Amino acid sequence: MISYVTVGADDIACARAFYSAILPPLGYGLTEGPEGLSYVLPTPPGASPVSPDFYVKPTFDGRPASAGNGAMVAFEARSQAEVRRLHAAACAAGGTDEGAPGFRAAYGPQFYVGYLRDPQGNKIALFSSNPDEPGRDD
């Protein structure tokens, strides 16, 4: 199980605008401190923490942050409409469209996805595979 994901950012304010447009609607809470941004899913009392956490931090070595070539983080939305809404919100908050929301022939018929780049260049996917919604072939 993945416990957490961390991406680097040179401009934490820009990163906060971008990630706050998509992660709180997906249920993540935000804690901000001198070490950066921590987006964490809530833990009900008496339950184990829900993974993964998502962190946005300045680089440890002080060099500029860079996006991993081939690296991508995907967040699951509840519906196709939520994918469209969050994709638009993220673009309005400083993200770059990397592939408009829709179905892709290379994936299963229920996999609805939109791709983005955050302000630092990290690739982010927002997807829904809700079986109660129409699929690619419906």
Q: What is the pLDDT of residues 13-48, one digit of tens each?
A: 999 999 999 999 999 999 999 889 999 999 989 999
CATH number of 4-59+67-128: 3.10.180.10
Return the CA Rg of the chain. Answer: 15
Q: What contacts 101, CB < 8 A, 6 or more positions away?
A: 80, 83, 84, 87, 112, 113, 114, 126
Question: Cα 56 to chain center, whole Å?
Answer: 11
Residue 72 confidence (pLDDT): 95
In the chain, what is the straight-line distance between the N-terminal and C-terminal CA atoms, in Å?
Answer: 33
Residue 2 confidence (pLDDT): 86
Phi-psi region of 46 (alpha: psi -120 to 50; beta: other; left: phi over 0): left
Task: Note whether 42 and 67 are within 8 A (CB).
Answer: no
Domain ranges of the chain: 4-59+67-128
Residue 69 confidence (pLDDT): 84
How far is the C-alpha of 69 from the C-alpha of 30, rounded, in Å? 27
Local mean pLDDT, 10-residue blocks, the chain (138 residues): 92 97 97 94 91 94 90 96 98 98 95 97 97 91
